[in-house]
Amino acid sequence: MLYRVHANRHAFLSDRAYTADESVDGAADTWDQPLRGNFNQLLKLKKQHPGLKILWSFDGWTWSSGFGEAAKNPAAFAQSCHDLVNDPTWGGLFDGIDIDWEYPNACGNTCDTSGRDAFKNVMAALRQKFGAGKLVTAAITADATSGGKIDAADYPGTAQYVDWYNPMTYDYFGAWDAGGPTAPHSPLTSYPGIPKADFTTSSTIAKLKGLGIPASKLLLGIGFYGRGWTGVGQAAPGGTATGPAAGTYEQGIDDYKVLKTKCPATGTVGGTAYAKCGNDWWSCDTPATIATKMTYKNQQDLGGTFFWELSGDTANGELIKAIG
């Protein structure tokens, strides 16, 4: 089992005090203990489950703009990451590092112009600093279009430095295109009328394997949430919309555990599920569509599966139980 801790959340994770009934081992945090909060709970969990691996994941969509600066001095960046991950305050907690750069030499929340080799240089420096005994991984783009984000960086040349890649095979489509057309955000395969060719999981995996990246270093990504539009008139994919559907935390997105009741799936397309409820149209993976994706993952000899993220699942873990 692998657990990723995002860097921008570390203050909350390391400071929150746990009561006895919340704690992994039934012992409450005290005000004067050296480490408390989620970091302390994760240490306790690792003692109970020695096979659990925990990585510190750096950045993501919102925070990736800093990587351009880091790429100017990869060795210094790697040293700072090593010092943080191995801080004696939480010694023994982290088994390595995950880099979530969205996206090297391409545009995400901001645009990066650090060059095609920047990602490789950063990951090479991290591997050199962390050594063979620690995990070094990366979440990477799923854009398999010709001249797209996969082509913008040297992902094949960087593969030698990582234990595995997490291609983010979700969020292909969403209500950032407010008028539609409606489309499932995590299709496994193409289908008639898909808004953009090669925006599918199978296209992403095929492209990465075709570039020479070993299948064993590719994990299949699953979203534990759905994306949706409102103002939609037709049930089938491809309809027009007036904007994002209302969500629990933000517009256009909601957890599977919410959608299961609010807008349960009624159809499948491209190996994932969708439904129209009133004027809203949603797509998400279900236990059944995840099972289909696991068959594909096994056929492709991929290294495993990852998902974003656990709180989107039901209390009894319907989605995580479907992963195999």
Three-class SS of residue 134? coil
Closest CA to 272 of 256, 257, 255, 288: 288
Please answer whether residues 232 and 281 qualify as being in contact, where contact means their C-beta atoms are separated by less than 8 angstroms.
yes
β-partners of residue 165 are: 138, 218
* Distance from C-alpha of 153 to C-alpha of 161, rounded to nearest angstrom: 14
Q: Tell me, what amino acid is at 147?
A: G
Q: What is the largest CA-CA distance in the chain?
A: 61
Amino acid at 74: P
CA 141 to mean position of chain CA atoms: 10
DSSP single-letter state for residue 310: G
- Which position among 22, 69, 102, 250 bears the catalytic label? 102
CA distance 97 to 139: 11
Phi, psi of 95 (to 5 degrees): -105, 5
Contacts of 67 (CB under 8 A, 6+ apart): 59, 101, 104, 112, 114, 118, 122
Residue (of 35, 78, 55) closest to 137 by Cα position: 55
Buried b (16+ CB within 10 A) or exposed e, 158-186: bbebbbbbbbbbbbbbbbeeeebbbbbbb
Does residue 309 have an active-site annotation?
no
Q: Which residues are catalytic?
A: 102
